[in-house]
Amino acid sequence: MLNEKLYILPQKGVEIHWWGKDLYLFINRQTYIKTSRMESKIISAMRDNIIGRAAEILKRETHTSIAIARELIELFLKEYQEYFIEAEYSRGEFNISGEKGSYYPLELHVSLTNKCPQSCFHCYKEATKCGTDIDTKALIEFLEKTKGKVREIHLSGGEPSVHGNFREIIRALEGEYKINVLSSGIGIDIYYKDIHESNAVLAVTIFSNMPKLHDKLAGKEGSYSEIIQNIKSAKENGISVVVTTFIRNNNVSDILELIDSLECIGVKAINIARIAPLGRAKDYDVQSDFSIRQEDIDILKEKIKNLNNVNTIFEDEEENISLPNSIFSCSAGTLVWSINELGEVHPCGVSSVNGMEIGTIRDADLFSSKYRKMYIRKIKDFRGKNAGGCPFVGL
């Protein structure tokens, strides 16, 4: 029997998003459920409403009786019980992103600049101390259109904080998005107040627990010491910090020591990834240093499986999720888009390929059904002229 005074909320890891005319449930960004037309009406009615009020809304939407509306909600909750929970309060936690009939991504990666104080060996943008900043006014005007439609924004670079209007940009996003700042960890500390008040997560990269080796791979002397100090300062300022490191040949013990060091300063989330041969990494001896033996991966997994205070993610093993009729065999072009420092909108969160851009931040109808159809035709034509299909497959 339904308690009509309770709210219904999505379980942790469940995101609800419109893509075109269909409403999807995404579970941990790994699997999805395409809901029926009636199910989408039920979900929309339950948003930030107690069950009794949701039944009244559903009654009007479906032109049925209140008894049938209640029964429909009860049947839905029984079918989807592992994805929703009952709660006494809503607190605005029932979010439905996207817009019916339009095509908004779940996540945007925004490169504010290709300038960086470091010169990391693997940088896919080949960032240096010189470069280009994205146009602040055009970007903020674009992001005004995506408020309430896009859930998550990653501010990156280069080093995003060297953009002259970093503070203005992150403040414009405050309270509207889940924000991640992907930083080198160098010089970012002057913006900790803005990052904290925007409830943003700070993500930095550390290559090794050995300072000299890290500095060599980062291309900056003293980098390790400054990053560690800035992580400590970030934690003291109440900022959540995520650290990414990379598995290489024979560095399992180094990773374990790094995990211990980070745990001591309060870092709870660590990503362990592989290097993709993009940008400067193409010129680095990737094959000798990053052709990882499976036994090293197995040893590392065994060593970390009982580390309850560390959330370790093997990014190379994450499943790629693509929607029905997706252009690509992954989330590119649907769930994840990127904007580079020139204001070009691309389908991949990692890389840009000339000829595959979706448009620019100045395009007014970028999310419309008409624009989507035009882009699909463009990619089909692009593939027809460029054998091999999606250039990101296999990276």
pLDDT tens, 282-330?
766 555 555 667 777 788 878 877 776 666 655 445 445 666 656 676 6
Mean pLDDT of the chain: 86
Q: Is residue 327 part of a domain?
A: yes
> Which residue did the predictor score with more confidence, 131 or 350?
131
Mean pLDDT over 65-80 rounds to 95
- Residue where the block lists tokens 């605005």: 92
Shared-domain flag, residues 204 and 61: no
Q: Is the pLDDT confidence value at 389 over 70?
A: no
CA distance 110 to 340: 6
Q: Is the pLDDT confidence value at 385 over 80?
A: no
- How many structural domains does the chain have? 3
Structure confidence by residue, pLDDT tens digits, 160-207: 999 999 999 999 999 999 999 999 999 999 999 999 999 999 999 999
Mean pLDDT over 250-268 rounds to 90
Return the pLDDT at 394: 38
Shared-domain flag, residues 126 and 252: yes
Residue 95: is it exposed, middle or buried by C-beta count within 10 angstroms (0-12/13-18/19+)? Answer: middle
Question: What three-state secondary structure class fits 206?
Answer: coil
Return the pLDDT at 178: 95
Shared-domain flag, residues 328 and 395: yes
Shared-domain flag, residues 41 and 71: yes
Q: Is residue 192 part of a domain?
A: yes
Task: Give the DSSP letter of residue 158.
Answer: S
Structure confidence by residue, pLDDT tens digits, 1-34: 778 899 999 999 999 999 999 999 999 888 899 9
> Which residue did the predictor score with more confidence, 233 or 377?
233
Amino acid at 303: K
DSSP H helical segments within the chain, as ranges? Answer: 37-46, 51-62, 66-79, 136-146, 166-173, 192-197, 211-218, 223-236, 252-264, 286-290, 294-304, 369-385
> At which of 283, 317, 351 does a domain end?
317
Return the pLDDT at 124: 80
**H or E element that contains 272:** strand 269-273
Shared-domain flag, residues 296 and 386: no
Q: Is residue 189 part of a domain?
A: yes
Q: CA triplet 28, 31, 35: central angle to 5 degrees?
A: 110
Structure confidence by residue, pLDDT tens digits, 140-155: 999 999 999 999 999 9
Shared-domain flag, residues 148 and 239: yes
Q: Is residue 342 part of a domain?
A: yes
Strand order in the sheet with 201-205: 311-314, 269-273, 240-246, 201-205, 178-182, 152-156, 107-111, 336-339, 344-346, 359-360
Return the pLDDT at 289: 58
> Which residue did the predictor score with more confidence, 340 or 351?
340
The pTM assigned to this predicted structure is 0.89
Supply 280's token pair. Answer: 């400067």
> Which residue did the predictor score with more confidence, 384 or 209?
209
Q: Is residue 57 part of a domain?
A: yes
Mean pLDDT over 123-146 rounds to 91
Return the pLDDT at 386: 54
Return the pLDDT at 71: 95
Shared-domain flag, residues 191 and 336: no
Q: Is residue 269 part of a domain?
A: yes
> At which of 317, 340, 368 does a domain end?
317
Q: Residue 222: how many CB atoms within 10 A of its CB?
A: 11
Mean pLDDT over 199-216 rounds to 96
Q: Is the pLDDT confidence value at 39 over 90?
A: yes
> At which of 250, 282, 317 does a domain end?
317
Return the pLDDT at 244: 92
The least confident of 93-102, 242-251, 271-280, 378-387 is: 378-387
**CATH number of the domain to which 155 belongs:** 3.20.20.70
Q: Which domain holds residue 68?
A: 7-97
